[in-house]
Structure 1
Amino acid sequence: MKKTLAILAATVATLALAVTLLAPTFLGFSVTQLGTAVRVATGMGAKLACSGRFVSGFDEARILDDLASYSPANRLLELHYGDDRVTAELLGMGRTSATYRDGLGCTLDIGDTTALDRLRMAPVASNGEEWPLGTAVTSIDGELQDRVEALLEADNAAGLQTRALLVVQDGRLAAEAYGPGIDAQTPLLGWSMGKSLTAMLAGRMETLGLADSTARPVFGGWQGDARAQIALRDLLQMASGLDFDETYAPGSDATKMLFNAHSASDIALASRTAHAPGEHFSYSSGTTNLIARWIHERLGGDVQTSLDFFQREILQPLGMAHTVFEVDPSGVFVGSSYIYASGRDWARLGQLMLNRGQWQGAQVLSDDWVARAAAPNTSANEPRYGYQFWLNGGGEELRYPQLPADAYFMLGNREQAVMISPSTKTVVVRLGWSASEYPTGENFAGLLPRG
C-alpha cells in the first residue's frame, strides 16, 4: 500500500508540474484547473497528432516535437496510433480520440459522429499543365530561387522551422523551397489562415447571389435582442461586438471550441454583445466559426452539400488537389483553424485575391468583394483588418514598415503567412512551426522584385 501511495503521489506531483509548466504558453494550464487542462491537452494532442499523421504524413517524432513546442509538458502525452485514429492520454487521464476520414481529415470523437462516416469528398485531379493550372513549373527565377533557398536554410539554422517558402511573381511560380520531409504536395496546417479561406467561401456565395453581407440578423435566434443588428459584414471584419474569450487557457471559449466541443460554433452563437456592431475590433476565432455555420445553414444545413459546394466552387476551379478543410464533430467546417493545404495551394488562394477574384477567365470572387475584403474596417481601435485578412495599411502606421502599404495577409499561429502585394504583383507564402516571432516584414521584403 505504501508503495502504491508513493507511486500515486509521484504521479500527481508530476502532473501538477506538467500543467504548471504549461501556464505561460499557448494552452495556459494551471494547477487549479487540472481537469479542464487535461481535457484540453488530450483534445489538442489527439486532434493535431491525427491530422499530422494522416493528412500531412508526419512521423510520430515530429508530431510530438510540434506539440512540445507549445510546452515541454506535452511530451507527457501518451499518443496511440491506429489505422485511422489517434488516442491521447495524459498520465492515464483525459482519454480523447480523433478519427481520420479520407478527404475530410481528422475530427475529434465527441458526441455522435457516425453521420460523418457517410460523407464523401472526391479528390481533385492533378494534371501536368503549368502552375497554377497543374503541377508543372518551368518559370523558376534562378536568382530568386537562390534567395529563397538561402532564407529557408537560415530560418531553420535559427530554429524557426520554416517548412515551405514560395514566391509567385506576375502570376508565375518564381521560387519555392521546402524543409526536410516536406514537398510541393504536403498539406500543411494554416491555423488562422483558414479564416481568410472561410471568408473567400462566403465571398463566392455572395458572387453567386446566395449571400448579402449587409443583411440582418445573421441567425434567426438573434432576432429580438441586440444581436439582431449584427450583419455578416460585421462578422467578417471581427467587429460584431460579441463577447468571446479568445485566450487559450483551460475553460476559455477558444479552447472549449477547438478541443472539447461537438459543435465549434455553439459557444460563439450564444455569446452576448459587449459593443455595438462595427465599432470595436476584437479578434475572435469564434466569430469565424459563426461564419462557417452561417455558410452551412445558408447552403441548406446538409454536410454533404457544404462539402460539395466547397469542392465545386473553390477546390476544382483553382486546381487545389492537396487541400483538406476539416469539420467539427457536428459536420460544420472549422473555419477558424483547421485547413491543411500545400504551399502551392495556399499560393493559389493568394493569387486569386491578387487577380481581383478572376481565375482563368472566370470571376470566382467579384471585384467589389475583393476590394471590400482588403479595405479597412470601421472600428475605432484597429482598422487594419478587412474580411478576415490582416492589412498592412489603413491605420496610423504600417503593420510591417518594410512592406508595401497595400499588402495584406492571411496569418496563422506558428507564424504562417500568405502575403498579397498588389503594387508589386507578388504573393509570398511562408509555412512553418515557429515557437518564436518570425521576421515577416524583413524576410518578405527581401523576396520582393528588385529595381
Structure 2
Amino acid sequence: MKKIILTLLATLATLGLALALLAPTLLGFSITQLGSAVNVATGMGAKLACSGRYVSGFSEAQNLKDLASYSPANRLLDLRYEDNPKRVTATLLGLGETSASYRPGLGCTLDIGDTSALERIAFAPPAANDAEWPAGSNAPHIDSKLQQKLDGLVASDNAAGLQTRALAVVQNGKLVAESYAEGIGAQTPLLGWSMGKSLTSMMIGRLQALQPEQPISQPLFPQWSDARADISLENLLQMSSGLDFDETYAPGSDATRMLFNAHSASGVALQSPLKYNPGEHFSYSSGTTNLLARWVYEQLGSSPQASADFFQQQILAPLGMRNTVFEVDASGVFVGSSYIYASARDWARLGLLMLNRGNWNGEQLLAESWVDAAQRPNHSSNDPRYGYQFWLNGGGDQLRFPELPQDSYFMLGNRQQVVMISPSTNTVIVRLGWTAGDYPTGENFAQLLP
C-alpha cells in the first residue's frame, strides 16, 4: 500500500510539473489559473460536444476540432460519449470531470446541481410540411446566378480555412439561394452563439405584443433593492444597464463561469454590482442577455414548462421553425446569450420577421413600434450603434460595415455567425460557420445584394 501511495504521489507531482511547464505556452493560461481553467475546459467540452453530437449531428473528430479552435488545452480533453441516455463526459488529463445531458427539444444542459425540473418538460416541435418557404420546406424561387455565386463563396471561404458552413439569401420574402459545406444541410441546426441575444430580445417583443397594457414593475428583480432598482428593461435590451459584468473569456471570469460552471446562468449577472448610471454607458454583456431570459421566465410564472410552451407556441410554431433548439441551463431558464442552434433557413425566418416589421402572414407577432425601437441607436455616451440586442450598421460616427447599407442591422455571434437584415434592399443574408479570426462580412455580403 505504501508503495502504491508513493507511486500515486510521484505521478501527481509529475503531472503538476508538466502542467506548470505547459500552461503558459501550449495551454494558454497561467498555472495560477489551473483550477478555473480545467473547469472551463471540461464544462465547455462536455456542453459543446454534447450539442455538437446530438443536436447538430457532428462527429467526435469534428467536435474536438471545433473545441481546439478556442484553446490548445482542449486538444487534451477526453470526451466520453454515451448514447443511452445521451450524455457526454469530459475530463482534462483526468481532472475536472463534467458531463452534459441531451433531452429531446431542449438540447444539452450541463449536469450541475438539481436538474430534475428538466425531466418534466414536454416539448413538441412543429410538424414538417412541404409548403413554400418560409411556411414550409419547398424553395421554388432559387436564382441560378445567385446560387452559383453562393456556391463559389462557400468554396473559396473553405479553401481559405474560414469554415463557412451555411450561406443563405432571402430577397423580397423568397429564399433565392442557399449553399452548405459538406455534411451540412438545410435542416442542420447550427450554433448561433450570440445571435441568440437577438432571439431573446424578440421573445420579449412577442411577450409585450401579447400584453401591451401590462406595466413593467421596478425593480426588474426583487434582489435589486439598491441602486440597481433604477435599471430599466430598455437599459438591459440596449446593453446599457451599468452593471459591472466581466465579459472577458478567461478562466474564472463572469462569462466563463456563467456558461460553463453555473447552475443558473442568469444568477451570475444578477449579483453584479452597478458600475455606471443606467443608460449612460454601453457595455457588451452576455450576462445582461441572460437577465433578460430570466425576466421572461419570471413573467411566465417561473415555470420551465411555461417558458418552453411560450417559445414553442409563440415563436417556433407561427414561424414554422422546425430545426431550432433553444437550450436551457440546469435551473430551466433559457441561456439566451449563447445556446441557440438553428438551421440557416430558421435563422433566415427570424431575420424575415424583423424585415417585415413584425408581421407574419398577416399576424402582427411583434409590434411595429417595437421593431422600430429595436433598430434605433441607444443613448450611451460611448457607442450608440446597438439597439435591442441587435448590432446597427449606422447610428455612430462611422458605419460598422462600410460596404453595406446604412440601415442594415445584424444578429452577430462568435465564430462570425451573422444574420443581416437590410430594409432598403429588402434582403436577409445568413452566414453560419466556425471562423476563429476575421471574416469578410461586408465584402462578401455586398456581392449578394440586389
1:11 equivalenced with 2:12 (yes/no): no
Match of 1:184 in 2: 186
Note if contact 2:41-2:73 (Cα within 8 Å) is conserved in structure 1: no
Find out whether 1:364 has 2:368 as its counterpart. Answer: no
Kindly indicate whether residue 346 of structure 2 is the aligned counterpart of residue 345 of structure 1.
yes
Deviations 1:175-205 (A, max 9, x none): 0000011000000000000000000000001
> How far does residue 73 in structure 1 lie from its aligned partner after superposition?
2.1
The SS at the match of 1:273 is coil
SS in structure 2 of the partner of residue 89 of structure 1: strand
Q: In the alignment, residue 406 of structure 1 is paired with which amino acid?
A: D
Aligned partner of residue 170 in structure 2, secondary structure = strand
Could you tell me the TM-score, scaled by structure 1's length? Answer: 0.96
Q: CA deviation at 1:123?
A: 1.9
- Counterpart of 1:45 in structure 2 is 45
Query: Which amino acid in 1 is paired with 2:446?
Result: A
Q: What's 2:101 paired with?
A: 99
> 2: distance between equivalents of 1:212 and 1:226?
24
Shift of 1:9: 4.3
Q: Aligned equivalents of 1:211 and 1:261: distance in 2?
A: 35
What's the CA shift string for 1:391-419, capped at 9, x where partnerless?
A: 00000000000000000000000000000
Q: Which residue of 2 aligns with 1:206?
A: 208
TM-score w.r.t. structure 2 length?
0.96
2:420 partner SS: strand
Amino acid at match of 1:292: A
Comparing 4-13 with 242-251, greater Cα deviation is found at: 4-13
Most deviating of 70-79 and 373-382: 70-79
Q: 2:447 is matched by which residue type in structure 1?
A: G
1:214 & 1:382 partners in 2: Cα distance?
A: 26
Offset at residue 426 of structure 1 (A): 0.5
Runs of 4+ in 1 over 2 A off after TM superposition: 1-24, 210-216
**Structure-2 separation of matches of 1:86 and 1:437:** 31
Q: Which residue of 2 aligns with 1:20?
A: 24
Deviation (angstroms), 1:16: 3.4
Partners of 2:112 and 2:330 within 8 A in 1: yes
Q: Which runs of 5+ in 1 are unaligned?
A: none
SS in 1 for 2:99: strand
1:69 corresponding residue in structure 2: 69
The unaligned stretches of length 5 or more in structure 2 are: none
Q: Which amino acid aligns with 1:39?
A: N
> Does 1:135 pair with 2:145?
no
What is the alpha-carbon root mean square deviation over aligned residues?
1.5
Give 1:447's aligned residue: 448
Aligned to 1:302: 303
Find the aligned partners of 2:368 and 2:397 in 1 and give their Cα distance: 27
The separation in 1 between residues aligned to 2:355 and 2:213, in whole angstroms, is 23
Identity value in percent: 68
Kindly provide the CA deviation profile for residues 257-309 of structure 1, in whole angstroms up to 9, marking residues without a partner as x: 00110001111111111111111000000000000000000000010001001
User: Among 111, 114, 122, which residue is 2:113 paired with?
Assistant: 111
Residues 19-73 of structure 1, C-alpha deviation per residue, up to 9 Å, x if partnerless? 434776xxxx321111111011000000000000000000000000000011222
> What aligned pairs does 1:3-402 form with structure 2 within 5 A after superposition?
7-21=11-25, 29-83=29-83, 84-209=86-211, 215-223=217-225, 225-402=226-403
The CA deviation string for residues 227-253 of structure 1, in whole angstroms up to 9 with x for no partner, is: 111110100000001110001111111
Aligned mates of 2:425, 2:73 — CA distance in 1: 44
Distance 1:171 1:37 in 2: 46
Cα 1:47–1:176, aligned 2, differ >3 Å: closer, same or farther? same
Secondary structure of the corresponding residue to residue 99 of structure 1: strand
Verify the 8 A CA contact 1:191 1:412 in the aligned structure 2: yes
Cα distance between partner residues in 2 of 1:329 and 1:22: 32
Paired amino acid for 2:137: T
Q: 2:47 is paired with a residue of what secondary structure?
A: helix
Give 1:407's aligned amino acid.
S
Q: Distance in 1 between matches of 2:268 and 2:213?
A: 24
Q: Distance in 2 between matches of 1:32 and 1:310?
A: 42
Alpha-carbon spacing, 1:136–1:16, altered in 2? closer, same or farther (3 Å): farther
After superposition, the Cα gap between the structure-2 partners of 1:92 and 1:171, relative to the gap in structure 1 and judged at 3 Å, is: same
Q: Distance in 1 between matches of 2:278 and 2:371?
A: 22
